[in-house]
């Protein structure tokens, strides 16, 4: 029983394709596993670094500054209300203060005249 080249070539092509596809899957799996390991090492090193302590201190400082600014705003609002109520005798509505101009006004584009 003799096998002709016309019968064996498709079997060789199919077998080689299967081996290449299988090796590709293994390579992608190993690359993903290696990348995940490196990511975990990087995160672990970052969490133990002194930078995280420094960032925590900066975050606490920013929160305390924000709280102080909020308290200042509330105090100014209260004082403005008490001054405006005390100085008015006829209880007329207060005219709003004009809005401050922007430092950098946004340019307005006009459509070209036809």
Model pLDDT, residue 67: 92
- pLDDT per position in the chain (114 positions), as tens? 788 888 889 999 999 999 999 999 999 999 999 998 888 887 776 666 667 778 888 999 999 999 999 999 998 888 888 777 766 555 666 666 666 665 666 666 677 765
Contact criterion met (CB below 8 Å) for 88 and 78: no
Model pLDDT, residue 101: 63
| Cβ-Cβ contacts under 8 Å for 46 (sequence gap 6 or more) | 52
């Amino acid at each position: 029983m003799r096998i002709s080249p016309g019968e064996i070539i498709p079997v060789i092509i199919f077998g080689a394709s299967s081996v290449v596809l299988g090796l590709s899957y293994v390579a992608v799996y190993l690359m993903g596993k290696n990348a995940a390991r490196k990511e975990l090492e990087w995160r672990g090193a970052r969490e133990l670094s002194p930078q995280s302590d420094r960032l925590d201190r900066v975050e606490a400082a920013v929160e305390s500054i924000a709280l102080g600014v909020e308290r200042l705003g509330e105090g100014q609002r209260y004082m403005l209300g008490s001054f405006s109520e005390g100085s008015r005798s006829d209880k007329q509505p207060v005219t709003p203060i004009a809005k401050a101009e922007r430092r950098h006004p946004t340019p307005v584009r006009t459509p070209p005249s036809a």
